[in-house]
Amino acid sequence: LWEIAPETCHQSVGLCGVGRSGSVESLPGMLSTPVELIRVQRKGSLHFRCAVAEMQGWRNHHEDAHEMHCQGSAGGFWVLDGHGGDGAAHYGAPELAKEIGNAMKEMELPADKEIERGFAAVDSRLRGYVAEHPEKDSGSTVTGALIARQTDGTYTAKLCNCGDSRGLLVRGPGEIASDDYQVSIPQHLEALMSRPDAVLGDTVPDFRWPVVAESIDHKPSHPTEKRRIETAGGHVTEDDPPRLDGNLAVSRGLGDFEYKQDSGRPVPEQKVSVVPDIYSVSGLKAGTLCILACDGIWDVMTGESVAEFIRGSLQRDPNADLGDLCAELIRLSLRRNSRDNMTVMIVHLLDGSDWSLMPDEMKNYDKISEQAHDEDARKNNVAFLRKSQFPLEPKPCAVCKKWIAEMHICPCKAEFYCNRDCQKKGWKAHKPLCSASGNSGSSPPSR
């Protein structure tokens, strides 16, 4: 796979200490050994091919959630990064997909106000859910994309960002000419563009080839966010990172209701706002890429470097598997010292109908045997497998070594295959050893 030069990396600092063995010193919320299992999911339709990968990493719990929906000419894609628990993310992902999805039409995306009302409605229902289930009280960032194919073959997209997860639209691997796209950005960012203290790529957008659009993170120190927080009676510390009221490092998202308690203020004016920033682009060419990821990726990589990584991989191998690319981005982020949960989603705007029914895959399963003598690591791996609805013992394909959720099993129970093609390839070598074959016949036994 195409590698990224080390100098493009943003190293995370101050999150934890690392001992000589490479394990993390005991700190609150952190494991001594990371959970390196990676679950990959793939989905496709006539106009979309998408994949998502997730890893728990060094954190005590996996608090990310996601949704992928694509059918007909429209698709909705969401990545949520929870904090303080997984309740907000796990509740919010399917609810947002349903709420916003109901407002989508075949080739027409919802108006910005409809999207904002959808976020507020989900947040309101989450408040009621948390009241009934106090143990689920938490918060979550949201990054999402609503995309529709038009009759002329181009695509229209809206990136929706609420927090410090991030979404990108990237020119496809086949685009050579630097075609200009008209990107509609949030009004508050437009107003900041002329300020002399505006920092490109941080305070205001700075879209550089091959990026078409990239969301700006909602940090408490951002001028728009800081002004709202202070007007609402809060304060922003000078810590690294800056924190809302000395605690929260993000300033928009679902949940976090302790910062949304001023009944005299409307939703957009609370210390933590649930109003998303929306970036709109039309005329996107087939082959354009959409990338959504939580800050476990962006803590150690730039949007430009991630875009170049994915584009470069697809230019070198047009058949490169998006799920494999997502997983490799996560591995790369872990090597670059990311200490958070990690989720990456890639949506390729082209025909993905051959991915309409794809089973989940578990990567890095070799870590289970490597960590078998570490009781804490074993328990954490088991918990991740259960949460991912995978068997607790790896049964990889005898031919390609993939481990998917729905393996083909030889009647002898000794060989496993990820699909019928691998089963046919492996049958010749396995037939003399297969107790169920009778050593006769030329076809592999059925599943």
Written as tens digits, the pLDDT of the chain (447 aa) is 333 333 333 333 333 333 323 344 446 679 999 999 999 999 999 999 999 999 999 999 999 999 999 988 999 999 999 999 999 999 999 999 999 998 888 789 999 999 999 999 999 999 999 999 999 999 999 999 999 999 999 999 999 999 999 999 999 999 887 677 999 999 999 999 888 877 787 888 888 889 999 999 999 999 999 999 999 999 999 888 899 999 999 999 999 999 999 999 999 999 999 999 999 999 999 999 999 999 999 999 999 999 999 999 999 999 999 999 999 999 999 999 999 999 999 999 999 999 999 999 999 999 998 887 889 999 999 999 999 999 999 999 999 999 999 898 988 888 999 998 998 898 888 888 888 876 554 455 555
Structure tokens at 150: 């038009």
How many structural domains comprise the chain? 2
Which residues face 167 on adjacent strands?
A: 292
Same domain? 290 vs 227: yes
φ, ψ at 332 (rounded to 5°): -65, -40
Q: Do both 361 and 402 map to the same domain?
A: no
Residues 356 and 426 in one domain: no
Tell me, yes or no, whether 387 lies in a domain. Answer: no
- Is residue 132 assigned to a domain? yes
| DSSP states along 178-219 | -----EE--HHHHHHTT-TT--BTTTB----TTEEEEPPP--
Same domain, 431 and 356: no
**Whether residue 133 is found in the same domain as residue 40:** yes
- In angstroms, the CA 277 to CA 160 distance is 6
Q: Output the CA torsion sign for 434, 439, 442, 447.
A: negative
Residues 306 and 418 in one domain: no
Same domain, 412 and 329: no
Query: Do 262 and 299 have their domain in common?
Result: yes
Last residue of a domain, one of 347, 366, 385: 366
How far apart, in whole angstroms, are the C-alpha atoms of residue 422 and residue 395?
14
Whether residues 93 and 194 share a domain: the answer is yes
CATH number of the domain enclosing 13 = 3.60.40.10
For residue 371, tell me if it sits in a domain.
no
Mark whether 284 and 419 lie in a shared domain: no
Tokens encoding 256: 């976090």
Same domain? For 362 and 399 the reply is no
Tell me what pLDDT residue 439 has. Answer: 57
Q: Which residue range forms the structural domain that includes residue 243?
A: 6-366
Q: Last residue of some domain: 323, 347, 366?
A: 366
Q: In this structure, is residue 352 part of a structural domain?
A: yes
Instruction: Tell me if 372 sits within 8 A of 195, measured CB to CB.
Output: no
Cα angle for residues 429, 433, 438 (degrees, 5° grid): 110
75 within a domain of the structure (yes/no): yes
pTM of the full structure = 0.91
Q: Residue 379 falls within a domain, yes or no?
A: no
* Residues ≥6 apart with Cβ < 8 Å to 187: none
Which residue matches tokens 């959409």? 290
Q: Which of 350, 366, 382 is the last residue of a domain?
A: 366
pLDDT at 444: 55
Please, which residues have CB within 8 angstroms of residue 157's CB and are 6 or more apart in sequence?
Answer: 109, 145, 146, 147, 148, 169, 213, 280, 281, 282, 284, 288, 290
CB 185 within 8 A of CB 142: no
Q: Does residue 87 share a domain with residue 40? A: yes
Judged by DSSP in three states, 41 sits in strand
Within a domain: 93: yes
List the end-to-end C-alpha distance of the chain, in Å, as a whole number: 34
How far is 59 from 35, CA to CA, in rounded Å? Answer: 8
Would you say residue 390 lies in a domain?
A: no
